[in-house]
Amino acid sequence: MAPHASRLGRRLLIVAACWMLAGMVVAQPDDATLASQRAAFKQAYAAASQGGDRWRALVGGLQDYVLYPYLEAASLQHDIQEVDRPTVESYLRRYPDLIPADDLRRTFLQELARRQDWTDFVAMYQPGLGDTLTCDALQAKLAGNAPLDFDRDLATLWTEPSLPSACDPVLQAASEQGLLTSARIWARIDLAVDAGKGNTVASMVQWLPPAEAQAAQNLALAMNDPAAAAQAATQWPDTPRARQAATLALVRLARRQSDTADSAWQTLQTRLHFAPEQRDRVLNALAVFHATDFDDNALARLVNLPPSAQTPVSREWRVRVALAGQHWQAVLDAIDAMPASQQQDDEWQYFRARALEQLGQAQQARRAYASAADLSSYFGYLAADHQHAPYALCSTPLSAHAQGEQAVMAIPGMQRAFELFAVGMPKPARREWNRALANADAQTVRQAVILANQRGWYDRAIFAFNHDEALHYYDLRFPLASQDGLVPQAEQAGIDPSWAYGILRVESAWMSDAQSGADARGLMQLVPSTAADVARHNGLPWNGGNSLYDPATNIELGTRYLAQMAERFDGSPWLASAAYNAGAARVNQWVDARGNLPPDLFVATIPFKETREYVARVMYYSVIYDWRLHGAAAPISTRMVPIGKPYSRPDANDPRKDMTCPAPSAAAPAASASVPAAASAPAAPASSASAMDKAH
């Protein structure tokens, strides 16, 4: 055994010993007993979730099961309007450190506030349970005729740009007690403006003196209806608050209607004495959003933007507009105008090489391509194809250790997490996981991820291994889940399985219960209405929206939907990926406007940042999955077929590229290879990306 493995074993054995000494280890039942307990728990939990005591007749043999406390909590949650304080307190005494106990306390406190039972509320309240309960506690204080103290009671809440409705009576009382001075109100308005909370600004107007209320109303109008505000601003007095509101209106209007904002700016800059910083904000917004519209003078606007008005976004859009026109010297000039740190981004390294190549500077282009090709990313692989070089990928295998597994399984929270996942309750499973490993060292986390992967809980690796050296654990970060049938389903649908895997990985990060704000569901993030249409079109069974949380159903319908998208775009996986994210109609608009561009330039000029990055991630992940499936990968350039040219997916006879690990100094994966920790709310396919998503 290697020395580090020996140290790991000792460390994890110590962890296990600590838990055993604490008397908290639950003996693991045999497989047959565990299967029986899981089946009984599911039945009992379904009954408990309906309230009452019927679940108690179904718990034979479950009293020692690690999830037993979840049953009573589910019943009490359902019956919360009838539950009394002694019943809740009895549960809290028996399970003081469990997540269901925390949830029950919170829910019961909300119920006590609804009943306005402030005596019991105060007796059970604990600070730190969220803004709603904080404000309920202040209502309890007011009910006892105790005055509010701003610094003690409200100062922290006041820094929140928006508050729940439970805080309304507290704020009204604070106003009546004279605590909401104009200075405090304006401080909160400015916080709300910075956070984009127009409704909060509007709600503050009522507590301002009449002489100041109009200025706040102007700010609210600028946020909620910038076109109306820009028009009204022609009648506003030239005051600091009016200039603030006008600036806000012009910047927000530029995102939606750049020409209208331009006209309004020409009028307002002669009437209002904008501060230099305000002028720069407006000029930046006008330049950037004329650029996202690819107006004829967009490049000149960006080139002539004053240095004080330039930002990383305006600098990158200078490159994108130049790429759209294939003005290669302008591309090179725009990249050279970036700060050195921005130039190091793999995208700009790649496009520097492209520009040098197009300008005939072959030797410099080769060096630039070689540098970019050392990166494991979408742009790194595009660069490698220009060099006819292998792809950079440094994969580190991760093996299990018996002692490590024992230590992980000795943590009660991990036992509950794995059991919750096993019985089909992934959301509470993730909560138990996060709490159990909140202070764990890297070795323990790695062993926990290995155990999760063995159980088919694939998203744990994606969220745990999303930075630094952990990015090298490709086998775990890009799982192949044969039990979900993706490969045969993709084959039946006539699409490349590695592309389908790439879409799935980006959409849901392998969270089978993922649900977006647009109600896209499951692994491949299908909206129920779309899934129903796909099922009908393909003669497949449809059992309603909740069936999309079943991986096999989701993949069957998702691969067919991908095939439909591909069919609309000559089979092109990169264009179909853009349509999957932003909608086919919008992609057709972009094709009509810039369909003559090579694929790499077209992707770089997609107006929506989300969709640009989405396509890049999908194509990069497709290469990784091709390697995972075949040990080598079809070149990314063969997937990026020109617009209008039919695409044929790679077969066994097509050439593939090897993966090699560059020299250590350049081996670290690019940032684009990672997955943000916020992937729990994946983007819905065919969503309507709003103008607010443009550029930023």
Residues 6+ apart with CB under 8 A from 206: 213
Q: CA-CA distance, 341 to 312, in Å (whole number)?
A: 10
Q: CA-CA distance, 514 to 517, in Å (whole number)?
A: 10
Closest CA to 662 of 479, 395, 430: 395
Q: Is 581 left (phi over 0), alpha (psi -120 to 50) or beta?
A: alpha
Q: CA-CA distance, 115 to 118, in Å (whole number)?
A: 8
Neighbour-count burial for 507-526, b at 16+ CB within 10 Å, e otherwise: bbbbbbbbbbeeebbbbbbb
Neighbour-count burial for 226-243, b at 16+ CB within 10 Å, e otherwise: bbebbbbbeebeeeebbb
- Beta strand pairing call for 391-392 and 659-660: parallel
Report the interhelical angle of 551-568 vs 486-493 (nearest 10°): 30
Q: CA-CA distance, 535 to 573, in Å (whole number)?
A: 21
**400: exposed, middle or buried (Cβ count in 10 Å: 0-12, 13-18, 19+):** middle
Scan for tokens 């007011």, then name that residue: 142
Catalytic residue among 212, 507, 556, 613: 507
Residues 6+ apart with CB under 8 A from 470: 464
CA torsion, points 44, 46, 51, 54, in degrees to nearest 10?
-40
Q: 71 with 44: CB under 8 angstroms?
A: yes
Closest CA to 311 of 294, 295, 290, 287: 287
Sign of CA dihedral 409, 413, 414, 416: positive
Q: Is 557 left (phi over 0), alpha (psi -120 to 50) or beta?
A: alpha
Q: 548 with 481: CB under 8 angstroms?
A: no
Both tokens of residue 402? 């018996």
Q: Where are the alpha helices (DSSP H) in 304-359?
A: 312-324, 328-336, 340-343, 346-358
Quick check: is 347 catalytic? no
Both tokens of residue 257? 């209607």
Catalytically active residues are 507
